Amino acid sequence: MDLRALPEHGTLLAGLGAAAAAPVEVYLSTARRMLERMVAQPDWVSGLALERKPGGYTRNFLFGEGGISVWAMVWSPGATTSVHDHHCSCCFGVVRGAVREVWFRPISDTHAVATGEADRGPGYVACMLPSGPNLHQMINAGSEEAVSIHVYGYDHHLHASSVDREYQIARL
C-alpha cells in the first residue's frame, strides 16, 4: 500500500516532504506532529503489507522524499537491535505493542555501557538529532508484536540505513 493513497496520511506526508528543506527545528516539529497523528489512530497500520521475522525485526519502506525516509518497523517478541547511533535525525512513534529503549555511553570506539532504559508504549513519540554520542538499542521484551513508525533524515537511495556506528556491550 502506498501511504499517499490514504487521504490524511497523504496530506501529512506531503507536509513532511515539503518540510524536509526547512530549518531543522521546523522539520522535526513537522515530523513529530505527523507521528503524533499516526499513532493516535493506529488502525491504518492493519492495511499495510508488513514483513515479519520471528524473533527479529523488519524495516518496511513507506515513503521517501527530499532526503527523508519513513519506515514501519515490526518487532517480533525478542527482537533486539545492535547498540548503535545515527548519522541523521531520527523520530519514531509506537503504534502497537511496546519497545524498550536502552541508552548507552561509549567507553571506546567499539564498546559501550548501558546507562538507562525505558519502555515505550503505544502513542509514544520521540525525536532526536545526531548531536554527539546518542547510542541506543531497541528491544521487544514483551510477548506481543510491536509496530513503530520511524522518520529518518536520510535519503533511502543514498544510505542503507540510519545507523552510523555499532558498538559491543561492555561488561564491567
Q: How many CA atoms lie within 13 A of 74 on its CB side?
A: 16
Distance of CA 39 to the CA centre of its chain: 13
Alpha helices in the chain (DSSP H): 7-19, 24-40
SS3 52: coil
Does residue 135 contact residue 85 with C-beta atoms inside 8 Å?
A: yes
Residue 84 marked in a binding site? yes
> Which of 152, 157, 164, 149 lies closest to 60 in space, CA to CA?
149
Q: How many CB atoms lie within 10 A of CB 147?
A: 22
- Alpha-carbon distance of 125 to 109, in angstroms, equals 29
The C-alpha cell that represents 143 in the structure block: 510477548
Pairing of strands 125-128, 90-96: antiparallel
Residue 87 marked in a binding site? no
Residues of the binding site: 84, 86, 136
Residues of the binding site for Fe cation: 84, 86, 136
